[in-house]
């Protein structure tokens, strides 16, 4: 297994769990982790135990803007549980405060095969603007995001030529959905010559992971009928709690704008409009309120209609289903990048490595 070095932008739930999962994978070395407060870099490999312990609970769910202000600490910081004097990643003895943590990573980009963007997407053009910074900075490795919103893919496609010229392989939508479940849909579609529908229905029980995943919950709330990404961004922690209370802790989502649709259309599997994503989020239990299932219905060449299904065991947490695939797609992306394949690639086109 070839050696792969990677950095994590963002030390919230996804970033932290990805670091944790990477310890169980051969040949994967985390060499940098940053949040808006600072940067930890060690090319011998970060001490993940120390970093996770030092930043335990240091989740910053304040929707500031890392892309434009370079990650400088912003005003309120509500949601950052401090651990001593230092905020965020700086609580780790491996980290130093920084005015521009993204620049820190880009400046060392030659030794970093891949960068996982584990940042909540509070603005539609947030991830694309982070990509711009890597483009401007002359990075030529792999960028991986776990973005959700369909409209972001078009913004990345607008940068396709620039990414190709720069030698960047951008793996987009590399979490659970979009991600693992998009890939499962693309695979399940192979039995058919025409796809009628792809239904992705997820269940997440998040009691013990709630603290770590407030950013994800905020993003999910933006999918509710009465909210959008702007209004969700403006919600205080207390307002989010009130919404959770209103739903007795279990929130149902229908017709979510998840990029599975455009990623499947992009791969030629079906029209985006044939894809529906919905789910049930329970923040008061670790039990999943429903079994995460992908159902692909289509017609075979011999005229039969059928539904192939992919099911995740209820025992597999959201974290397991996001972070394993994120690292799998990261490794697959590095392989593509080394082979000289640049531009935007999605989970319906790429088999993640184990």
Q: Which of 219, 258, 265, 349 is catalytic?
A: 219
134 in contact with a second copy (CB under 8 A): no
Instruction: Show the site string, 25-64: x = touches a second copy by CB under 8 A, - = not.
Output: xx--------------------------------------
Q: Residue 123 catalytic?
A: no
Q: Which stretch binds a second copy (CB under 8 A): 137-145, 155-163, 234-242, 337-345?
A: 337-345
Q: Tell me if residue 148 is catalytic.
A: yes
Instruction: Out of 112, 301, 337, 343, name the contact with a second copy by CB under 8 A.
Output: 301
Helix 180-188 / helix 318-338 crossing angle, nearest 10 deg: 70
Site for a second copy, residues 153 to 212, rule: CB under 8 A:
180, 183-184, 186-194
Q: How far is CA 53 from the centre of its chain?
A: 22
Q: Which residue in the list 3, 37, 93, 148 is annotated as catalytic?
A: 148
For a second copy, the binding residue among 328, 330, 334, 344 (CB under 8 A) is 328
Tell me, yes or no, if 219 is annotated catalytic: yes
> 122 phi and psi, to 5 degrees?
-80, -15
Q: Which of 17, 148, 214, 218 binds a second copy (CB under 8 A)?
A: 17
Query: Any idea which residues carry the catalytic annotation?
Result: 148, 219, 223
Positions that interact with a second copy (CB under 8 A): 1, 17, 20-21, 24-26, 180, 183-184, 186-194, 267-269, 300-302, 304-317, 319-321, 323-325, 328, 339-341, 348-354
């Amino acid at each position: 297994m070839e050696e792969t070095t990677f950095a994590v932008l963002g030390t919230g739930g996804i970033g932290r769990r990805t670091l944790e999962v990477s310890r169980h994978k051969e040949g994967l070395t985390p060499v940098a982790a940053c949040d808006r407060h600072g940067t930890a870099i060690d090319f011998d490999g970060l001490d993940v135990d120390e970093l996770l312990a030092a930043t335990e609970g240091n989740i910053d769910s304040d929707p500031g803007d890392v892309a434009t202000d370079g990650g400088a600490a912003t005003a309120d910081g509500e949601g950052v549980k401090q651990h001593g004097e230092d905020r965020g990643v700086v609580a780790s003895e491996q980290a130093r405060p920084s005015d521009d943590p993204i620049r820190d990573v880009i400046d060392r980009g030659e030794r970093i095969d891949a960068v996982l963007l584990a940042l909540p997407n509070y603005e539609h053009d947030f991830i694309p603007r982070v990509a711009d910074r890597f483009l401007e900075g002359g990075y030529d490795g792999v960028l991986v995001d776990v973005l959700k919103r369909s409209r972001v893919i078009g913004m990345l496609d607008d940068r396709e030529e620039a990414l190709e010229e720069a030698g960047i392989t951008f793996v987009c939508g590399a979490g659970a959905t979009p991600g693992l479940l998009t890939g499962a849909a693309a695979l399940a579609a192979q039995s058919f010559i025409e796809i009628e529908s792809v239904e992705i229905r997820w269940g997440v029980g998040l009691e013990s992971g709630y603290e770590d995943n407030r950013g994800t919950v905020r993003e999910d709330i933006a999918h509710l009928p009465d909210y959008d990404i702007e209004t969700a961004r403006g919600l205080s922690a207390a307002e989010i709690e009130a919404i959770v209370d209103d739903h007795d802790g279990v929130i149902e989502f229908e017709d979510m704008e998840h990029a599975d649709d455009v990623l499947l259309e992009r791969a030629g599997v079906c029209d985006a409009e044939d894809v529906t994503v919905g789910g049930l989020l329970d923040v008061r239990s670790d039990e999943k309120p429903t079994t995460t299932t992908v159902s692909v219905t289509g017609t075979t060449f011999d005229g039969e209609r059928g539904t192939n299904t992919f099911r995740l065991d209820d025992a597999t947490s959201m974290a397991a289903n996001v972070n394993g695939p994120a690292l799998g797609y990261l490794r697959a992306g590095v392989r593509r990048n080394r082979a000289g394949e640049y531009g935007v690639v999605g989970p319906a086109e790429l088999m993640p490595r184990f």
